[in-house]
Copies of this chain bind each other. A is one copy, B any other.
């Protein structure tokens, strides 16, 4: 678990910078997914838990919720990118899918 410390192993092929980028991307997607699950659960699933299955209304709500969350993700990403570009290079802001 030592993502920190930049232990650069003298392995021939593995590029640790590229590796780190990939791990960061994975962490990012996991984080977004967990927030998406939690947000849409709060928005769509009744906390009374009277039955074990998603009912029709909840299922439809979840589908729309995911679509809207992606749209918000895109809008926020574009906004951050435009702010980043205005602030200078903005190289770090090209990360929304």
Contacts and interface: CB of A to CB of B under 8 A. Distances in A.
Interface in A8-36: 19-20, 23
Interface residues of A, number: 6
Contacts of A5: 19
Interface of A: 1, 4-5, 19-20, 23
Contacts of A20: 1
A23 B19 CA distance: 21
A20 to B, nearest CB: 7
Nearest to A4: B23
In the complex, the 4 A-B pairs of residues with the closest C-beta atoms, listed nearest first = A4-B23, A1-B23, A1-B20, A5-B19
A5 B14 CA distance: 11
